[in-house]
Amino acid sequence: MAATLAASEHAVTVCWAVMSIPVPGDALALAFDHVAFAVPDLEAAIAEYGKHLRLVVAHRERIEEQGVEEALLAVGGSFVQLLCPLGPETPVGKFLTKRGPGIHHVGYRVASIEQALAAMKASGARLIDEKPRRGSRGTRIAFVHPAALGGPLVELVEEPAEGSHHG
């Protein structure tokens, strides 16, 4: 019965299902790093995710450069990124005013952010960032304009090298 499966058994099943799907060797997006949601009240959103999906906060960070306070909730090997704006004139603040709470962007994990940016520029994608910026957890990130992929804002994420220590 699914409900009585141990966490490890569930993980194996998910892994097998993903690995059975062929992926081109030169794919830039390796995995979903996170799906980001704009929320007006971070504590209330964290409480809802805990109550309804039983997710817990894996990481919290205030990212002044992006104008957000974030909470990351682990889902498998990816995250739900809850984003609360630091002010109304920040990207997430403007989004909340115009569109209300909801999906703000999708983050794709890439092996090399420089290579991914160069390849996407060459393929004609409209970039917001030509160079990587600092993201949370020591990641390096860059944004691709919503117009490039049919609507959603896209973020490219390069994980910190294993063994490196970031705040």
Q: Which chain residues interact with ligand CMX by CB under 6 A?
A: 36, 63, 66, 68, 81, 83, 91-92, 94-95, 98, 104-105, 128, 135, 143, 146, 152-153, 155
Residue among 9 and 76 whose Cβ is closer to Co ion? 76
104 contact, one of Co ion, ligand CMX, none, CB 5-8 Å limit per kind: ligand CMX
35 contact, one of ligand CMX, Co ion, none, CB 5-8 Å limit per kind: none
Query: For binding to Co ion (CB under 5 A), which residues are involved?
Result: 36, 81, 107, 155
Residue among 36 and 42 whose Cβ is closer to ligand CMX? 36
Distance, in Å, from the CA atom of 49 to the CA atom of 91, rounded to the nearest integer, reads 23
Q: Smallest distance, Å, CB 10 to Co ion?
A: 26
Name the one residue in this structure whose structure tokens are 């996170």: 34
152 contact, one of ligand CMX, Co ion, none, CB 5-8 Å limit per kind: ligand CMX
Bridging pattern class, strands 153-158 and 57-63: unpaired
Cα distances from 17 to residues 12, 22, 34, 134, 145, in angstroms, run: 9, 11, 20, 33, 31
Inter-residue contact 114 to 142 (CB < 8 Å): no
Inter-residue contact 70 to 63 (CB < 8 Å): yes
Q: Smallest distance, Å, CB 81 to ligand CMX?
A: 6
Plot region of 124 (φ>0 → left; ψ -120 to 50 → alpha; else → beta)? left
68 contact, one of ligand CMX, Co ion, none, CB 5-8 Å limit per kind: ligand CMX
